[in-house]
């Protein structure tokens, strides 16, 4: 019995000793943390001029924003006016940069299916770029606040998304086994077969194509003209990125994303074509008759929904081509010209402007 009691006492003493050790360790650790927290941040102690100097030599928009938001003092030193001056463009390139940013901004935020917003979103997603859109609060903002938010959002696009896509050194995850060219050729052929009437008996195919094209040009509002334009816009959008002015990696990424979207868009269009065939049997042949009989456009054999769909696709493909051919290409040519370099206080015009990638913050 005494042995058992002695064992219990010894166990109790050990527990007390361990508890005291744990308490002492916790007090020491708490004291160390308190001492560490009492040490001011270097940004809290260095002169304002040093903070300004740091901000002047950061060409990356996201890095600049991280420094600016590191503490209240840096936010005060690197004011909104400083941010605007640091990331201003030279007058000769500004209109091109802002024009491209406005094009992307309106389409990314509109969310309508009448433009290339869906293509832009998919391209950024495939490139691993995430844009955080402005939070729409219930409280109306002052005009100055709205202007500042728009400025930040524009910088996210220009110095984040577009600069990453335009950077010749960027590497994107492309599916090298995806036969985008094969799907593209198949789509072009299927659109041609479903929207252009076959040559009647006795007509040479080349002569017939010339007649249909001439008829379409003379009747701009006709379905034949719209479908011809849609197919041309689709082809030009697919070929709008030139690897000589961008990079083969971006060209491949664009073609892959664009063809996958095109397959989905044309699927809806082909469904409308099938509905039209059920509603107006032989409608395509009647359009052909209007060509060689030189009759007015036969509009009663084309449903309103089919006409709306072909116009919608025409606009989408035209928007994509505009973005790539006259957006990226123009900006790249201007950017690589030393006379068009960005005018920043740090004045280097460095190619680091193209170094941003990944998540683009908004604040």
Q: Provide the CA 347 distance to its chain's centre, in angstroms.
A: 28
Q: What is the pLDDT of residue 3?
A: 54
* Distance between start and end Cα atoms, the chain: 73
Q: What is the pLDDT of residue 182?
A: 94
Tell me, yes or no, whether 108 and 213 share the same domain: yes
3-state DSSP assignment of residue 302 = coil
Q: What is the pLDDT of residue 335?
A: 59
Burial class, 300, CB count within 10 angstroms (exposed 0-12 / middle 13-18 / buried 19+): exposed
Q: What are the tokens at 327?
A: 């957006």
pLDDT > 70: what percent of the chain?
67
Q: What is the pLDDT of residue 323?
A: 82
* Domain hosting residue 37, numbered range: 2-77
Q: What is the pLDDT of residue 191?
A: 93
Q: What is the pLDDT of residue 357?
A: 31
Backbone angles phi, psi at 115, to 5 degrees: -135, -165
Residue 343 lies in a domain: yes
Tell me, yes or no, whether 233 and 340 share the same domain: yes
Tell me, yes or no, whether 41 and 94 share the same domain: no
pLDDT less than 70: residues of the chain: 1-40, 89-99, 107-115, 131-141, 160, 243-245, 294-299, 329-363
Tell me, yes or no, whether 58 and 119 share the same domain: no
Q: Which of 77, 102, 125 is the last residue of a domain?
A: 77
Domain count, the chain: 2
pLDDT in tens, 180-235: 999 999 999 999 999 988 888 878 888 888 888 888 888 888 888 899 999 999 99
Tell me, yes or no, whether 143 and 53 share the same domain: no
Q: What is the pLDDT of residue 307?
A: 93
Are 159 and 129 a contacting pair, CB within 8 Å? no
Please spell the DSSP secondary structure of 111-164, one letter per residue: --TTSSHHHHHHHHHHTT-EEPPPP--SSPPPHHHHHHHHHHHHHIIIIIIIHH
pLDDT in tens, 73-82: 888 888 888 8
Tell me, yes or no, whether 344 and 257 share the same domain: yes
Q: Which of 49, 77, 105 is the last residue of a domain?
A: 77
Question: Exposure pattern of 6-29 as b/e (b: 16+ CB <10 Å)?
Answer: eeeeeeeeeeeeeeeeeeeeeeee
Q: What is the pLDDT of residue 44?
A: 75
């Amino acid at each position: 019995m005494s042995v058992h009691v002695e064992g219990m006492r010894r166990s109790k003493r050990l527990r007390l000793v361990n508890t005291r050790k744990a308490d002492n360790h916790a007090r020491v650790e708490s004291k160390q943390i308190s001492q560490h927290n009492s040490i001011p941040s270097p940004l809290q102690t260095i002169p304002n001029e040093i903070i300004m100097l740091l901000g002047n030599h950061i060409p990356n928009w996201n890095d600049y924003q991280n420094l600016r938001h590191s503490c209240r003092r840096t936010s005060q030193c690197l004011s909104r006016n400083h941010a605007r001056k640091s990331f201003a463009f030279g007058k000769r390139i500004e209109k091109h940069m802002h024009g491209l940013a406005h094009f992307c901004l309106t389409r990314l935020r509109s969310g309508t299916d009448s433009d290339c917003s869906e293509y832009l979103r998919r391209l950024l997603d495939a490139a691993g770029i995430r844009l955080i859109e402005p939070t729409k609060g219930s409280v109306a903002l002052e005009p100055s606040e709205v202007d500042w938010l728009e400025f930040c959002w524009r910088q996210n696009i220009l110095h984040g998304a577009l600069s990453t896509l335009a950077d010749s050194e960027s590497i994107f995850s492309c599916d090298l086994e995806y036969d985008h060219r094969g799907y593209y050729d198949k789509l072009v052929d299927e659109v041609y077969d479903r929207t252009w009437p076959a040559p009647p008996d006795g007509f040479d195919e080349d002569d017939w194509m010339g007649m249909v094209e001439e008829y379409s040009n003379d009747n701009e509002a006709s379905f034949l003209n719209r479908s011809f334009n849609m197919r041309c816009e689709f082809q030009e959008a697919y070929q709008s990125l030139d690897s000589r002015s961008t990079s083969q990696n971006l060209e491949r990424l664009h073609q892959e994303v664009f063809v996958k979207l095109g397959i989905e868009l044309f699927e809806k269009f082909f469904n409308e074509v099938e509905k039209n065939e059920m509603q107006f049997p032989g409608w395509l042949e009647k359009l052909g008759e209007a060509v060689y009989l030189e009759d007015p456009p036969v509009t009663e054999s084309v449903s309103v929904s089919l006409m709306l769909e072909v116009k919608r696709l025409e606009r989408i493909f035209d928007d994509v081509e505009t973005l790539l051919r006259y957006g990226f290409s123009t900006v790249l040519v201007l950017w690589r010209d030393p006379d068009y370099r960005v005018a920043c206080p740090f004045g280097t015009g460095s190619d680091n402007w193209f170094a941003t990638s990944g998540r683009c913050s908004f604040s």
